[in-house]
Amino acid sequence: MDSIRDTDFKERLNQLYLAVIFRYRYYIEEKENLSVAELPKLVTPNSPMVSKLAEEIKGEEYLYEANFYDASIKARDFVRENVEDVLLPVQFWILPDETIRFGLGDNIDKNILLCSLLIRLGNPSAKVLINIREDTRNAYVYYEFNSNIYLLEMEGEVVAMQTKEEMIRRLGVNDESTAYEFNDKMFLDL
């Protein structure tokens, strides 16, 4: 019994929560199941925490045409530096406000947050693109700005391209993969 008492209270509480989650895992996953066409519900540019963070990224002298590109990089860097990767034992969707609050999320959660921020920063063309090939699922965010398409890779670089077709080729979207894109207003199979 002494070894249980020696364990930190928060650690024991987390273990208890994890046990409860595992017990009700199938029920949770059943109720959390969104069809891919419902993914736009997860992009929330007008939510309180996304709005507040976007205002912080903008600063005082924000002008869309002059400052959006730099703000998009700041938004991506915020997500990269402040949201740690987590793989949860249960499949469920995390909203952008929750991703900000807890500083945790998987690759899709991070990209949904980034897309929400970019839209809130003034660019409604921002979209999450998911490419599934075999057992690999990759998520990206891209947007159109000043006649270019900018692909923001969470762990990579920002790449400017001339056309969407060029971006699709770069990401390896082809007949052997399943790909779709979405934002708060639309969903499209590629």
Asked if residue 25 is part of any domain, the answer here is no
Asked if residue 3 is part of any domain, the answer here is no
Asked if residue 113 is part of any domain, the answer here is yes
Alpha helices (runs of H) in 96-157, residue ranges in sequence order: 96-102, 107-120
pLDDT at 74: 96
Task: Find out whether 83 and 110 touch, Cβ atoms under 8 Å.
Answer: yes
Q: Which residues contact 147 (CB under 8 A, 6 or more apart)?
A: none
Q: Which residues contact 115 (CB under 8 A, 6 or more apart)?
A: 43, 126, 127, 128, 141, 183
Write the CATH number for 49: 3.10.620.30
pLDDT at 174: 87
Task: Find out whether 123 and 178 touch, Cβ atoms under 8 Å.
Answer: no
pLDDT at 184: 95
Asked if residue 11 is part of any domain, the answer here is no
Per-position pLDDT tens, the chain of length 190: 445 555 577 777 666 666 666 666 666 556 555 566 778 999 999 999 999 999 999 998 999 999 999 999 999 999 999 999 887 666 667 899 999 998 988 898 999 999 999 999 999 999 999 998 888 888 999 999 999 999 998 888 899 999 999 999 998 888 888 899 999 999 988 8
Q: What is the SS3 assignment for 153?
A: coil
Domain count, the chain: 1
Q: Which residues contact 48 (CB under 8 A, 6 or more apart)?
A: 97
Task: Provide the sign of the torsion angle of the four alpha carbons 69, 73, 74, 76, taken in this order.
Answer: positive
**Tokens at 109, concatenated:** 């959660």
Q: pTM of the full predicted structure?
A: 0.83
Q: E strand or H helix at 66, and its extent?
A: helix 64-82
Identity at 140, one-letter amino acid code: Y
pLDDT at 70: 95
The residues that bridge with 159 in the sheet, in sequence order, are 151
Asked if residue 172 is part of any domain, the answer here is yes
How many residues would you count in the chain? 190
Q: Which domain holds residue 116?
A: 34-189
Asked if residue 19 is part of any domain, the answer here is no
